[in-house]
Amino acid sequence: MINTFQGILDAARDGGARKRIAVPSAKKRDLDLLSRAVKGGIAVPVIIGDGRAMEALVKKSPLASLKHEILDVGESGGALPEAIRLVREGRADILMQGGLDQKAFLGAVLDAKTGLRKGRLASYASVLQLMKRDKLILVTDTFVNNFPGAAEKQLILENAIGLAGLLGMGSLKIAALAAIEQVNPSISSTLDAAVLSKMSERKQFGNAVVEGPLDMDCALSTVAASRKGLKSEVTGNVDIYLVPEIETGYLLVQALVFFGRMKTAGVLLGTVKPVILNLPFVSGENRLVEIALASLMCGKGGGNNG
């Protein structure tokens, strides 16, 4: 079982062949990060864009003396389609956002015909390392799906369960979060959580146990749960936190990082190959963990197991 960020890095280094990571229109900060990934034995970057501009940029970076490739596609507008094509055709294992606009990048990646989406829904999982003990937790969906309903939340959970399995988490305990711990027909998140909890009872998520609705104090504390009359093996020992909608998820992770000083990394799930985004609450140090995590997700066949 992998229970720290260092464990993710170690597992990626020990995973065999370095994964090829396609990076369209890379910026200096990307090259510095990629040089660390190469030195760490995790990845080999394929820089895609205007050949002369990319070569000039690489020469001024630590990557200049390390293994890398530059793919000239002329004007920068062709960088993203070519990067996606490389990944779709199996000539690259991982796609990184690079220096591209996030909205345009995600739109291309999630395009049903020409992008990398694997099934009906892609989602984003934030991985956080607890501070007082060696344990990783997942919070999802923290970026992609704005206001998912019960059907979408089922798919979001399935994506996250796949990632948790990759990290070696067994007998998963999942908290379906809502504003209150009681089912209230006027609050849709409590109804969604109750549906998912019932699905869990009927083993529709395998061995994972989904408890919900849970407010945050019941999810975190067995004492709080007991005070409110709740008895569950999930409370106080959660592996995956399923948030009701994107505002809650995004703000929760930001608060944990900026107020709680927790480490976080994340990856896009539900794509044919792993995709790494540039999110403001992921530090430069932990972006290397994202590359390592994506490398682990490639597996032997190079596919996204999430």
Give the model's pLDDT for residue 148. 96
Q: What residues make up the domain containing 210?
A: 125-258
User: What is the band of 120 on the pLDDT scale with cuts at 50, 70, 90?
Assistant: confident
CATH number of the domain enclosing 29: 3.40.50.10950
Q: Are 177 and 279 found together in one domain? A: no
Q: Rounded to the nearest 5°, which phi and psi values hold at 111? A: -60, 130
61 within a domain of the structure (yes/no): yes
User: What is the band of 304 on the pLDDT scale with cuts at 50, 70, 90?
Assistant: low
Q: Are 242 and 172 found together in one domain? A: yes
Whether 306 shows a pLDDT value over 80: the answer reads: no
Give the model's pLDDT for residue 305. 46
Whether 42 shows a pLDDT value over 50: the answer reads: yes
User: What is the band of 81 on the pLDDT scale with cuts at 50, 70, 90?
Assistant: very high
**303 vs 306: CA distance, rounded Å:** 9
Residues of the chain with pLDDT > 70, as a percent, come to 97
Give the model's pLDDT for residue 257. 95
Q: pLDDT tens-digit profile of 178-194?
A: 999 999 999 999 999 99
Give the model's pLDDT for residue 105. 95
How many separate domains does the chain show?
2
Q: Are 247 and 292 found together in one domain? A: no
Radius of gyration of the chain, Cα coordinates, nearest whole angstrom: 20
**275 vs 214: CA distance, rounded Å:** 31
Q: pLDDT tens-digit profile of 210-265?
A: 999 999 999 999 999 889 888 888 999 999 999 999 999 999 999 999 999 999 99
Q: Are 130 and 111 found together in one domain? A: no
Task: Let me know: does 165 contact 240? Beta carbons within 8 Å.
Answer: no
Task: Let me know: does 272 contact 303? Beta carbons within 8 Å.
Answer: yes
265 within a domain of the structure (yes/no): no
Q: Are 164 and 283 found together in one domain? A: no
Q: Which residue has the tokens 């869990």?
A: 200
208 within a domain of the structure (yes/no): yes
Q: Are 215 and 290 found together in one domain? A: no
Task: Let me know: does 181 contact 195? Beta carbons within 8 Å.
Answer: no
**166 vs 168: CA distance, rounded Å:** 5
Q: Which neighbouring-strand residues pair with 129?
A: 136, 263
| Token code pair at residue 266 | 């994340």
Whether 60 shows a pLDDT value over 50: the answer reads: yes
* Mean predicted lDDT score pLDDT of the chain: 92
Task: Let me know: does 208 contact 200? Beta carbons within 8 Å.
Answer: yes
Question: What does the pLDDT average to over 119-136?
Answer: 92
Give the model's pLDDT for residue 76. 59
